[in-house]
Structure 1
Amino acid sequence: MSGIFFNPNGNNAFTEIVNNRISKVFVDKTGFIGETIDRLDSDSKLIAFTRPRRFGKTIMARMLASYYSKSVDSMELFSTLKISDYKGQKLIDNKVTDITYKTYLNKFNVIYIDMNTVDTRYLTYLNGEKVKNVADIVDFLEYQIISELKDHVPFGPILEKAKIGNIGLTSALSSIHKSLGITFILIMDEWDLIYREYRENGKLQTKFIDLLRGMFKSSDCLECFSLVYLTGILPIKKYNSQSALNNSNEYSMLRPAPYETYFGFTKDEVEEIVKKPLCKLTHEELKKWYDGYKLNGKDIYNPNSVVSAIVDGVCQPYWSGTSSNEEVIRLINMNFRGIKTDITKLIDGIKIPFNSNNFQNDMVTLKDKNDIFSLLVCLGYLGCIEKKNGLKLAHVPNQEIKQTLLSIVKGQKWSRRTDIVKRSEALLNAIIKKQDGEKVAEIIQDIHNSSAVSLLDYNSEESLTYCVMTALQWSTMDIYDSHREEQAGKGRIDLVYVPEDDESPLIIIEFKYGKSAEEAIEQIKNQEYYKRYKNQYRNIMLVGINYSKSTKEHQCLIERLCN
């Protein structure tokens, strides 16, 4: 018998992808099942994995349900996947026994709690007939699971004999375990929903964490489980310096080791994906847009964005379409210790140190910039680099997040008052209105000397291009679309800014390293880069920029072509 929460049926997002893996992007992460097998009935059987939205948490939870649940037959599904190679040993009946992936395949009663489903069903319940003793979503969660357990033979008579009512999940599970000696596997997806969606209701949060404590910290109920697997965005809530469930083993974006590679795509996995006929994008494009989450030194790509880009055939921001930017706006506008300025610096490529030790793992108890950065790392809007001395560095991980944050910050009135945005607007103004090459060179020199660029090996046109694009990103994002190495005339333009309106001029930029700005302008003309655009744009700005290796200074020349 299967239900919504108790032994759900085997048809889910994981099985759908596996069964259609020829036509879909499928990365085999079933090796993770072996990691959970090793923890069954051990002192480390309570595990929590927290990652940002769209990082594969639900797929992994569904995968575990499909593997362990008695309600399905998954032999054929898993027989060709990586988990089929699993071999290990377990102490069974006081004897060391060799085991394979078949040993525990479909052998457990699984309680699968998707908190998003609970929340949706609870909102529907509020508009219908009320049940005695069900006063809030926590009561409703217990009521739903107990109702399904009562419908299952032989659990129903046991719960009736124990006089278990509509709520009292801890007592219900204990009664079943003591009567039958069986254990459950509990999988809770989005465990932190109450801390995110009901974040102002402290009483409800306390009630929910008390329920979890009752199940996972009391010896009577903890022994009811062979494995407890929690997923969410936020790590388990802290009270003072202690986790509310300090007997759990937590693996978050702030402390991911040793399971970094199971959530998100690795470099090797993306290399295999781009070889498939369904992928029309290059590895370099996917890396630029979706890589950069440094988990314990390993590069991790946003999996949902990679899949979406491959399906659409174009790299673009998918992040803002899958999570709420309003939360980021709220956090930035709290302005702890000048965080507005720090966010603009992060977008410009600067890495900023922070400390996550006092972060309470919620969205309300935020005391300073360290807490804001810690929360943004958990939400996926910042990456986190762990240094050997324990210091953490916040950074913007990739182009997708950069574009998202850039759009958020540009939408705030205060952004125009920041020095970085003012400098960007001054640079664009010097190019298209004043044609002031000396001012352009001066601003680029200032940016080159900043910590965002000086950390690069500034010894090529590539570095110079990055410097200028970094400088212009704030002032051009609403009116220009930038392209590098654009095919035009007799070659490729280093950098072109194409306006989205009819009034702004098109900007063609050619870079030279150790030569001269005059040579850069001559190349634009000799290679006829501008001819492709002459019929469409009335004004075209030709910009030549050179960096002198000997003087360590920039030079810029600007010419305007008018039709």
Structure 2
Amino acid sequence: MGTFLNPKADNDSDNQFLKICKNRVNGLFVDKTDFINETLDRFEMDNNLIAFTKPRRFGKTVTAQMLACYYSKGADCKAVFSGLKVAGYAGVKQINGQEKAITYEEYLNRRDVIYWDMNTINDDFKSYMSDKSLHVDYVDDIVDYLQYVTLLEIRQNREFEEKISKAPLIGRKSLKKALVATKTKFVLIMDEWDLIYREYRDNETLQKKFIDMLTGLFKATDGLNCFSLAYLTGILPIKKYNSESALNNFKEYNMLMPGKFAPYFGFTDEEVTELSRQTGCRISKELLKEWYEGYKIRLYDKDAGTSRDIDVYNPNSVISAISEGRCQSYWSNTSSNAEAIRLINMNYDGIKDDIISLISGGRILFDFESFNNDMTSIENKDQVFSLLVCLGYLGCYEEGDFLRSAYVPNREIRSALSSIVRKQPWYNAMPVIRRSEMLFQAIRSLDAAKTAEIIGDIHNSPYVSVIGYNKEEALVFCLISGLMWCAESSYDSFRELPAGKGFADLVFVPKSRPALPIMIIEFKRDYTAEDALNQIKEQDYAARYRKDGDEREVLLVGLNYSSETKEHHCLIEKM
């Protein structure tokens, strides 16, 4: 029992799931153990091969280690799972030819588990390659090394070693033959299964060798019979060859096609609501939603024949924000950002303009059917958007079988993408950037006519139509998207801000620079700009900024859209 075979799970082990369980005492715990129920329903069934892929920082490793804690003979976790959702499991299984009612205890810490953390294996392989004294004949690459170290540990089990030693032609890398020789059914859990396609992206020979190894384990009958359950997790769906999945007997769930597992791709709205109510949480549910929600994943109810969209939050960011007591971007993985930069700068079909439109609040249709689920065979904009969805930089709405509409899901991702775009040499030359600067300057100079004209241009841009220009919400969208590139780094923006005797539609408050004006904006549809401006004054929205000797400049902006004339009108006053 050790690293690869039957990993232990105790206070001394480096198990993220156990560490999170300890947070139950302070409320920072979301019970996702009912995911184990889904694997129990598939255990030793025809659908017992699962590939579950989602972006970095979305809990992939926690889920993998949770499954290891549950199944591994090397763990003693009854006390951990008692009282959690999995403890309520009740099912029926065919065992020794007879139907048997089972509880979650049926397989709890009773299975032989092979656990592969590919990040750790990759680090160990690099150390192995750098120290010639460790070298073993014919173990020359990470695929050889993976099989070698796993087989080495399996042979440390006396019972397995006796069976393996009697089998012919089992060498240092004959992992499948060794598993077959044990005559044991294993649970295999593989975290970051796609590492070789990401870290060794240009080594097609190694990639083929890796997928051939997995194919031998999971498609050949003798290999497949060695497993009661196999669970792969990573960022990328299983690699396609000639438009077919290399392991098409795995049931795949990913950000493009989540299937029934939508609630397990992150924290749900209900779960974040409960976290926000915990003692010590100093952040409102609304702010957590603005920053970290927005991944809308469609959940199908096969029995009822219905579907609904699940609002999913980035779990790592929610916990980090509550722990730190502030919402900010925790999306700072440099390797992930480097990949996004590479994809954007490919500029397929004008993707730079599309990314800026997406950051500004738009949506763009794409088709992911041709996506090969890797980072190298990118040939068009559809494949770029498909990869950005898998990486978590974009969300997507389901529009058809393979058709999706891409969008930027939340403020955290918008901040990360904005930061990336601002650092590119082409940034200042983009028309949308220039338009944002012009809008900001028009408001500051009290040029109401120019402000209305630019907002009209934004209204007529292709991506605004997706929200329906039939209510004040569309005006708010135009202003926010128009000012974003000038105001994002310098201002905090507030929707429906309590002020004076009511709620101001939109307020921009400088973060630190006193020379920048506060902007209070009221929107009307089919009234007048005068009505909008008068409401700011009558409701005294600026009252909160006249307290304590605050001498900052305040601009009052009234904006109206006429559905009859299709024109915008604006009035601006300085206090």
- What one-letter code is carried by the residue in structure 2 that aligns with 1:476? A
TM-score (norm 1): 0.92
Matched residue, 1:245: 247
1:375 CA drift (Å): 0.6
**8 Å Cα contact 2:520/2:554 also seen in 1:** no
- What one-letter code is carried by the residue in structure 2 that aligns with 1:201? N
Matched residue, 1:101: 104
1:494 CA drift (Å): 4.5
What's the secondary structure of 1:221's corresponding residue? helix
What's the secondary structure of 1:372's corresponding residue? helix
Matched residue, 2:276: 274
Q: What per-residue deviation string (whole Å, max 9, x for no partner) do you get for residues 472-512 of structure 1?
A: 00122344343445667777655443446758431322314
- Structure 1: gaps of 5 or more residues: none
- What one-letter code is carried by the residue in structure 1 that aligns with 2:136? V
1:557 aligns with 2:568: no
Q: Which of 386-395 and 465-474 deviates more?
A: 386-395
Matched residue, 1:173: 179
Q: Which of 550-559 and 118-127 deviates more?
A: 550-559
Q: Which of 361-370 and 242-251 deviates more?
A: 242-251
Within 1, Cα distance between the matches of 2:59 and 2:19? Answer: 14
1:194 CA drift (Å): 0.7
Matched residue, 1:52: 55
- What one-letter code is carried by the residue in structure 1 that aligns with 2:127? T
Matched residue, 1:41: 44
Q: What per-residue deviation string (whole Å, max 9, x for no partner) do you get for residues 124-152 of structure 1?
A: 22222222222111111112111211222
What's the secondary structure of 1:287's corresponding residue? helix
Matched residue, 2:7: 8
Shift in alpha-carbon separation, 1:247–1:278, aligned structure 2, 3 A: same
Shift in alpha-carbon separation, 1:126–1:292, aligned structure 2, 3 A: same
1:325-340 → structure 2 map (5 Å cutoff): 325-340=337-352
**8 Å Cα contact 2:368/2:402 also seen in 1:** no
Q: What per-residue deviation string (whole Å, max 9, x for no partner) do you get for residues 416-474 of structure 1?
A: 22222221111112122x43210001111222343444443656655433321111001
What's the secondary structure of 1:325's corresponding residue? helix
Within 1, Cα distance between the matches of 2:136 and 2:340? Answer: 38
Matched residue, 2:306: none
**8 Å Cα contact 1:48/1:250 also seen in 2:** yes
**8 Å Cα contact 1:461/1:511 also seen in 2:** no
Shift in alpha-carbon separation, 1:488–1:6, aligned structure 2, 3 A: same
Matched residue, 1:73: 76
Within 2, Cα distance between the matches of 1:174 and 1:5? Answer: 17
Q: What per-residue deviation string (whole Å, max 9, x for no partner) do you get for residues 270-316 of structure 1?
A: 22222221322222222222222122232222111111121122222
Shift in alpha-carbon separation, 1:406–1:559, aligned structure 2, 3 A: same
**8 Å Cα contact 1:17/1:24 also seen in 2:** no
1:418-497 → structure 2 map (5 Å cutoff): 418-432=430-444, 434-456=445-467, 461-484=472-495, 494-497=505-508
**8 Å Cα contact 2:27/2:275 also seen in 1:** no
1:372 CA drift (Å): 0.6
- What one-letter code is carried by the residue in structure 2 that aligns with 1:127? S
Tell me the C-alpha RMSD between the 2 structures. Answer: 2.4
1:69-218 → structure 2 map (5 Å cutoff): 69-128=72-131, 129=133, 130-162=135-167, 164-177=170-183, 182-218=184-220
- What one-letter code is carried by the residue in structure 2 that aligns with 1:404? A
Q: What per-residue deviation string (whole Å, max 9, x for no partner) do you get for residues 317-375 of structure 1?
A: 22234862111110011111111111112122222111111111000001111111111
- What one-letter code is carried by the residue in structure 2 that aligns with 1:164? I
What's the secondary structure of 2:449's corresponding residue? helix
Within 2, Cα distance between the matches of 1:424 and 1:256? Answer: 37
Within 1, Cα distance between the matches of 2:87 and 2:491? Answer: 52
- Structure 2: gaps of 5 or more residues: 299-308
Shift in alpha-carbon separation, 1:525–1:95, aligned structure 2, 3 A: closer
1:400 CA drift (Å): 1.6
**8 Å Cα contact 2:370/2:383 also seen in 1:** yes
1:244 CA drift (Å): 1.0
1:232-311 → structure 2 map (5 Å cutoff): 232-296=234-298, 297-311=309-323
Matched residue, 1:507: 518
What's the secondary structure of 1:185's corresponding residue? strand
Shift in alpha-carbon separation, 1:549–1:36, aligned structure 2, 3 A: same
Q: Which of 230-239 and 402-411 deviates more?
A: 402-411
Within 2, Cα distance between the matches of 1:292 and 1:153? Answer: 51
Within 1, Cα distance between the matches of 2:352 and 2:556? Answer: 34
Q: Which of 276-285 and 132-141 deviates more?
A: 276-285
Shift in alpha-carbon separation, 1:262–1:491, aligned structure 2, 3 A: closer
**8 Å Cα contact 2:505/2:523 also seen in 1:** no
1:535 CA drift (Å): 4.9
Within 2, Cα distance between the matches of 1:59 and 1:239? Answer: 30
Shift in alpha-carbon separation, 1:121–1:536, aligned structure 2, 3 A: farther
Within 2, Cα distance between the matches of 1:459 and 1:246? Answer: 46
**8 Å Cα contact 1:424/1:471 also seen in 2:** yes
Within 1, Cα distance between the matches of 2:216 and 2:520? Answer: 65
Within 2, Cα distance between the matches of 1:95 and 1:542? Answer: 76
Within 1, Cα distance between the matches of 2:200 and 2:356? Answer: 30
Q: What per-residue deviation string (whole Å, max 9, x for no partner) do you get for residues 33-64 of structure 1?
A: 12111212222111110111111211111111
**8 Å Cα contact 1:292/1:301 also seen in 2:** yes
1:212 CA drift (Å): 0.8
Within 1, Cα distance between the matches of 2:248 and 2:42? Answer: 17
Q: Which of 392-401 and 156-165 deviates more?
A: 156-165
What's the secondary structure of 1:91's corresponding residue? strand
Q: Which of 360-369 and 478-487 deviates more?
A: 478-487
What's the secondary structure of 1:44's corresponding residue? coil
Within 1, Cα distance between the matches of 2:503 and 2:537? Answer: 12
**8 Å Cα contact 1:509/1:545 also seen in 2:** no
What's the secondary structure of 1:53's corresponding residue? coil
Within 2, Cα distance between the matches of 1:501 and 1:142? Answer: 56
What's the secondary structure of 2:91's corresponding residue? strand
Between the two proteins, what is the percent identity of the paired residues? 52
1:72 CA drift (Å): 1.7
**8 Å Cα contact 2:493/2:507 also seen in 1:** yes
How many equivalent residue pairs?
A: 554
